[in-house]
Structure formats: structure tokens, C-alpha cells
């Protein structure tokens, strides 16, 4: 959720603020473990559906607010960020890209969008 346009150089651009990294699937994957993972995925799929609805309603609401006020309130930004980040984490789990059960919210999501330290340019 940034206004910056990504570079064409790929994901190695350190200046671009959005990055996703996955460890990849393990060398061998147990069929039994994959079966139980499908059972564990049922609540994730339900919550992901609700988050998708929240994202659609929030995006339309954000559009209306931005049209009339010219800026996006922090609370609406946080709702959209929560829905987007949970969707990305749940997709990674459902598509077997990670074995970590997706948390609802993590420290990185809570810190997103907050202003970082102000860097003063050097004075000549």
C-alpha cells in the first residue's frame, strides 16, 4: 500500500517499500500433513472470505472519502491494510508456500504506514 511505482529491476530494489519473501516448499512434503492442513484451512477460507468483503466495502468507502475530502483517514487505511495483509498471509498458507499458520495481525502490519525517523539532509 504505497504510492510509489515499482521499478522494472525486480524485487531487489531496496528503495521500494513493499517486499514479499517466501522460503518455498520443503524438499519433501507429507501427504498426511497436507490432508490435515486442508482441515486447518477451513477457518482460514471463511475468514479470508470475510476479509475480502471487508476489503471491497472498505475500498469503496475509501474512494468516497477521498473524493470528498481529498485524503484517506488513518482508521480506514488500517482496515484496508489489515484485510490486504491477512489475504496475502492466508494465500501463502493455502498455496503451501509457508508452513506458518497465518496470524490475524503481526508487528509489521501494526507498524505499516507510521512515519519513520526523519532524515535531515546534510548541510553544506
How many Cβ atoms sit within 10 Å of the Cβ of residue 55?
17
Q: Can you tell me whether residue 30 is helix, strand or coil? A: coil
* E strand map for the chain: none
pLDDT tens figures, 39-66: 888 999 999 999 999 999 999 999 999 9
pLDDT in tens, 84-117: 888 988 888 888 777 777 777 766 666 665 555 5
> Hey, what's the torsion of the CAs at 88, 100, 45, 107, to 10 degrees?
-50
- What is the distance between the alpha carbons of residues 80 and 65, in angstroms, rounded to a whole number? 13
Is residue 16 over pLDDT 70?
no
C-alpha cell at 69: 475530502
Task: Delimit the domains of the chain by residue range.
Answer: 31-109
Specify the 3-state DSSP secondary structure of 3.
Answer: coil
Report the C-alpha gap between 37 and 39 in whole angstroms.
5
Q: What is the pTM of this model?
A: 0.64
CA dist 28 and 14 (Å) reads 32
For the chain, how long is the longest CA-to-CA vector? 65
Amino acid at each position: 500500500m504505497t504510492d510509489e511505482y515499482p521499478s522494472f529491476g525486480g524485487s531487489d530494489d531496496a528503495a521500494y517499500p513493499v517486499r514479499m519473501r517466501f522460503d518455498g516448499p520443503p524438499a519433501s512434503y507429507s501427504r498426511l500433513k497436507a490432508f490435515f492442513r486442508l482441515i486447518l484451512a477451513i477457518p482460514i477460507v471463511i475468514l479470508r472470505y470475510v476479509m475480502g468483503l471487508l476489503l471491497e466495502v472498505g475500498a469503496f468507502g475509501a474512494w468516497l472519502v477521498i473524493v470528498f475530502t481529498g485524503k484517506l483517514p488513518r482508521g480506514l487505511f488500517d482496515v484496508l491494510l489489515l484485510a490486504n495483509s491477512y489475504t496475502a498471509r492466508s494465500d501463502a498458507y493455502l498455496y503451501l508456500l509457508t508452513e506458518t499458520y497465518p496470524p490475524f495481525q503481526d508487528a509489521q502490519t501494526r507498524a505499516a504506514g507510521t512515519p519513520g525517523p526523519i532524515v535531515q539532509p546534510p548541510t553544506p
